[in-house]
Amino acid sequence: MDVQLDPAGDDLPLMANTSHILVKHYVLDLDVDFESQVIEGTIVLFLEDGDRFKKQNRSVEEDCQSESNKGCKLGMPEPCHVPVTNAMTFSSEMEYNDCAICSKGEKDTSDKDGNHDNQEHAAGISSSKRCCDTGNHGSEEFLLVLDCCDLSVLKVEEVDVAAVPGMEKFTRSPELTVVSEELRNQIVRELVTLPANRWREQLDYYARCSQAAGCGELLFDTDTWSLQIRKTGAQTATDFPHAIRIWYKTKPEGRSVTWTSDQSGRPCVYTVGSPVNNRALFPCQEPPVAMSTWQATVRAAASFVVLMSGENSAKPTQLWEGCSSWYYYVTMPMPASTFTIAVGCWTEVKMEPCSSGDSATETPFSPPEADFRRVGVCSHMEYPCRFQNASATTQQVIPHRVFAPVCLTGACQETLLQLIPPCLSAAHSVLGTHPFSRLDVLIVPANFPSLGMASPHIMFLSQSILTGGSHLCGTRLCHEIAHAWFGLALGARDWTEEWLSEGFASHLEDVFWAAAQQLAPHEAREQQELRACLRWRRLQDEMQSSPAEMQVLRPNKDKTGHTSDSGASVIKHGLNPEKIFMQVHYLKGYFLLRFLAERLGDETYFSFLRKFVHAFHGQLILSQDFLQMLLENIPEEKRLELSVENIYQDWLESSGIPKPLQRERRAGAECGLARQVRAEVTKWIRVNRRPRKRKRREREAVFEKLLPDQLVLLLEHLLEQKTLSHRTLQSLQRTYHLQDQDAEVRHRWCELIVKHKFTKAYESVERFLQEDQERPQRDSFIHLLLAWGTGPGHQRRDYVAAKAVSPQPRSSLGASLSQRLVPARHAQKADSHKRGLPPWIWSGAALGFRVLLHR
């Protein structure tokens, strides 16, 4: 495929020719080897050619358009059928049996899949002459193009699905007398389109087919970003084999997974949310349009626990001494980029035994069969949908488990375990049905480059959220829970519209957290206004320090969602390391949704949001889908001259701060919590101005107790002061116990320490660099390096210098700072000595940059 990319550019290519052929289901069979740091095995792809899925997509697209006008009540495709078995949760006996079956090659499998008419920006991409569509373009052979990098592909072969006993039911002939390519493809076509109420049977056949013998090797080639497969004589996607097996292994340096050690010093590997997504873990179709299901068998040493995106709470099956097998499956079609795996010596954290009350983690909700009845219709492709499940719609807290390194189990028991049920319940009270049937939460290693990451059925959280009370833990938990709806159940059709995921999650985290705390309405409003104040300050900083072209939420404008004829595309700035530090999609998206909620009123807005979730779950969306349905579902008197066009112009397609937001912030009064902070700032400025020897009659200042977000705002205000004495800083530390606060507060405290060369507290900075090398550090290391009196030009120069530092193995993060010194620029280090800063501040910060940039 001829992708015209600038070798020095930062765009991420999506090479898969999804307009011609789609992967409907993946079957992975993998071995994890920690000694060689390689994951090796096979992946079987079940494919559907273009003619069939294009017809399905047109039907879904027409229905989605009718949803905007009719609230998803008319013009729907076949409604989802829910299996009689319990699709919400599974008994431990069933989970164990799933694993046992999988180790023998006869998995109790899951789901029917679906896809949707989703596209990506096609700038700079042209179709390959060799890659024809479903029609016959002459003598050229059809190429299946998969997204792939950092993989060693060993062999590709066609799978003889016709040799599997019982497959004759998927043909028009009672007996398989003459086996041909057409017959094998017919079997796969029938298999991938089984109705949702046959999901177990379907996945069982997927598993059996994946174990079938090969019936001929296929030709393949690889380049930097893709794997290309062809079969001699197959000129169209219809002729191409619809079930293929790829033998491959990952590389230790592959960018999709991180090999490292956990906080207890035990080896582990996990997906890190890399810019290249999962293409360095398995060959796949990366564009969001390629919605697929999957099932996976993973073998590892018996001491390891395998966690994965899966609907079942898997249990290990011992294969032989020292080796266990784990099996997971997913029945809801999702983009391959959402697949997540983590293998390590994790410990399941459980509540301490208590005499009263049952924990949701101990007593999973298991309704009787009779509760499974249709409660409405859905407009996505058919799969066993929880929105069709009467019991699921009323389930406030889904079953959940927590895993962590053994050294962090106590901290998880104290904070995290207590917060999950109220946060899940709060989310349900706002948005309704949980899209996923269960949740695993994993505390990931210290080198994780974020505070959290959500995937289907599993969530990664940083160790940084476990200290300093419940506030940071609760807000981050709510943010990731919100992604179950926005980002996973409803995904962006065009990845450049990241605000559809992060903007919604940022806005909803405040709403969920207020509900979880059971705050009175005025208290919730005050808390949300304070957080808006903090985000406003952050947005102003972001606009001043980031390139204008990266401040736009809808950069492709009218071409948003477009692809090349083959389906290949590029993601603008997808590989730009600077993007990792940016929060523009979070912040501008948050303020847009806050603006709309205030214009419409919370009751009207959240009532619409529930309707929107019900209309579009299981599908991919663009900005116009949300905005058009919003404006069509609110009364004329509440629109207040709002239109899709002016929202595009003011909020989504312009750089800088939106004009409506500027007017709102100028006119708005400061909230009570922020005013209280200003009063405390005034006291501290007075304290700082006092002479060292005070008059005896002068009264000591009395400081108010502040909430965590108030402390953050207080420290940000104090960072604006040119000088603070060491005496003042020492008093600050003592008054608020800053070394014991959460990571957001300690982040600002470290900036003050560095800016004012407060040597007595350098240990706090050292601890921060060792234990909190993640967000809230999307920009923290910039601040730590530059907070002390440098101008914008110096900041940009040093930022670029820090980006240039070469990456080192992530496993070195656990070493002492003396072992982690890096070759920062001599001028920087010399300058740091002149300013009285120890070299480890520079080296530790540069290492933090490398962790973020080498995701």
Question: With bands split at pLDDT 50, 70 and 90, how would you rate the model's confidence at 694?
Answer: low
- Interatomic CA distance for residues 63 and 65, integer angstroms: 5
Segment holding 230, helix H or strand E = strand 226-230
Indicate if 640 and 751 belong to the same structural domain: no
Indicate if 744 and 661 belong to the same structural domain: no
Question: With bands split at pLDDT 50, 70 and 90, how would you rate the model's confidence at 578?
Answer: confident
Provide the CATH number for the domain around residue 434. Answer: 1.10.390.10
Question: With bands split at pLDDT 50, 70 and 90, how would you rate the model's confidence at 641?
Answer: confident
Mean pLDDT of 145-171: 94
Mention every residue, 6+ apart, whose C-beta is less than 8 A from residue 823. 805, 806
Which letter, b or e, does each residue of 147-175 get, where b requires 16 or more Cβ atoms within 10 Å of its Cβ? bbbbbebeebbbbbbbebeebeebeeeee
- Interatomic CA distance for residues 639 and 99, integer angstroms: 54
Is residue 90 situated within a structural domain? no
Mean pLDDT of 810-818: 27
Indicate if 611 and 490 belong to the same structural domain: yes
Indicate if 681 and 644 belong to the same structural domain: no
Indicate if 850 and 745 belong to the same structural domain: yes
Indicate if 680 and 797 belong to the same structural domain: yes
Provide the CATH number for the domain around residue 713. Answer: 1.25.40
**Position 814 pLDDT exceeds 90:** no
What pLDDT sits at residue 266? 97
What pLDDT sits at residue 842? 42
Least confident stretch, 69-73, 215-219, 460-464: 69-73
CB 27 within 8 A of CB 206: yes
Is residue 696 situated within a structural domain? no
Least confident stretch, 86-100, 438-452, 493-507, 562-576: 86-100
Question: With bands split at pLDDT 50, 70 and 90, how would you rate the model's confidence at 80?
Answer: very low
Question: What is the set of active-site residues?
Answer: 480
CB 379 within 8 A of CB 102: no
Least confident stretch, 16-20, 168-172, 770-774, 779-783: 779-783
DSSP-assigned letter for residue 306: E
What pLDDT sits at residue 826? 31
Is residue 532 situated within a structural domain? yes
Q: What is the pLDDT of residues 715-730, one digit of tens each?
A: 999 999 999 999 999 9
Q: What is the pLDDT of residues 608-635, one digit of tens each?
A: 999 999 999 999 999 999 999 999 988 8
What pLDDT sits at residue 790? 41
Q: What is the pLDDT of residues 314-364, one digit of tens each?
A: 999 999 999 999 999 999 999 999 999 999 999 999 987 654 444 443 333
**Position 521 pLDDT exceeds 50:** yes
Torsions phi, psi of 414, nearest 5? -70, -35
pLDDT averaged over the chain?
80
Question: With bands split at pLDDT 50, 70 and 90, how would you rate the model's confidence at 10?
Answer: confident
**Position 254 pLDDT exceeds 50:** yes
What do you get for the CA distance between the two ends of the chain, in Å? Answer: 27
Is residue 263 situated within a structural domain? no
Q: Is the dihedral of CA 299, 304, 310, 314 positive or negative?
A: positive
Mention every residue, 6+ apart, whose C-beta is less than 8 A from residue 347. 403, 404, 405, 406, 409
Indicate if 609 and 683 belong to the same structural domain: no
- Interatomic CA distance for residues 746 and 374, integer angstroms: 50
Least confident stretch, 137-141, 303-307, 414-418: 137-141
What pLDDT sits at residue 571? 87
Mention every residue, 6+ apart, whose C-beta is less than 8 A from residue 283. 43, 146, 147, 148, 151, 153, 227, 246, 248
Indicate if 640 and 682 belong to the same structural domain: no
Partners of 222 in the β-ladder: 227
What pLDDT sits at residue 158? 97
3-state secondary structure of 155: strand
Question: What domain range is 390 assigned to?
Answer: 346-352+378-667
Residue 715 CB neighbour total at 10 angstroms: 24
What pLDDT sits at residue 668? 82
What pLDDT sits at residue 139? 57
Closest CA to 188 of 53, 47, 49: 47
What pLDDT sits at residue 313? 94
Indicate if 733 and 624 belong to the same structural domain: no
Is residue 341 situated within a structural domain? no
Which burial class, exposed, middle or buried, applies to 549 when counting CB atoms under 10 A from its CB (0-12, 13-18, 19+)?
A: exposed
- Interatomic CA distance for residues 643 and 628, integer angstroms: 8
Is residue 557 situated within a structural domain? yes
3-state secondary structure of 472: helix
Mean pLDDT of 53-71: 50
Indicate if 442 and 507 belong to the same structural domain: yes
Question: With bands split at pLDDT 50, 70 and 90, how would you rate the model's confidence at 168?
Answer: confident
Question: With bands split at pLDDT 50, 70 and 90, how would you rate the model's confidence at 816?
Answer: very low
Mean pLDDT of 114-130: 33
Q: What is the pLDDT of residues 188-205, one digit of tens each?
A: 999 999 999 999 999 999
Mean pLDDT of 251-271: 96
Higher pLDDT, 425 or 806: 425
Structural domains of the chain, count: 3
**Position 832 pLDDT exceeds 80:** no
Provide the CATH number for the domain around residue 39. Answer: 2.60.40
Closest CA to 113 of 373, 385, 312, 339: 385
Least confident stretch, 40-54, 377-391, 701-715, 744-758: 40-54
Indicate if 277 and 198 belong to the same structural domain: yes
Indicate if 679 and 605 belong to the same structural domain: no
Is residue 318 situated within a structural domain? no
**Position 11 pLDDT exceeds 90:** no
What pLDDT sits at residue 6? 62
Is residue 570 situated within a structural domain? yes
